[in-house]
Amino acid sequence: MPLSPGDKLGPYENVSAIGAGGMGEVYEAHDRALHENVAIKLIRRDVADQPDAATRFRREIALARQVTHRSVCRVFDFFPGSPASGGDSVDFLTMELLQGETLAEMLEREAPITLERARPILAQLTSALDAAHAAGVLHRDLKGSNVFLTTEGGELRVVITDFGLARSAAGGD
């Protein structure tokens, strides 16, 4: 169910579409209660109709929450069956809103990049993956489109997103 600007989804109001992936669509939304913007990820309708979709979505959230690191996108909450504009109900999660571009977009525009440009990106990526592995989480879908580049306080921040294919290193999920 694509959202239009102004559509309501639980306590959120859609601002704009950000992108889409294998499991869902991502939007910038305004939290009407806290007066700040977040990213929301909706399960795509074709995926939502699959019997284990909600379970996979919950696992993505649970595994992402296990990793606390500035280079891992913060996931806030899961809203199953939430009412949306138009009377539909959808499952969605809320997460940190990132401004910038993906590593894939940057490489398409700038490749090849120098070692000096690559070094801070790789250092933050390996640090985030080390934190994930220490928490027993395997991302399993690390690629340029799942790595976000943003700037905070004039400094580059590299952020791993989309734990949709992640697994616990201990197994059982």
* Model confidence band, residue 69 (pLDDT cutoffs 50, 70, 90): confident
Is the pLDDT reported for residue 152 higher than 70? yes
Output the average pLDDT for the chain: 83
Greater model confidence, 122 or 19? 122
* Model confidence band, residue 163 (pLDDT cutoffs 50, 70, 90): low
| The model's pTM | 0.80
Is the pLDDT reported for residue 166 higher than 50? no
Q: How far apart are CA 140 and CA 15, in angstroms?
A: 31
The residue ranges of DSSP E strands in 107-173, in sequence order, are 137-138, 147-152, 155-160, 167-168
Assess whether 141 carries a catalytic annotation.
yes
From the candidates 49, 77, 88, 141, give the one annotated as an active-site residue: 141
pLDDT in the model for residue 172: 54
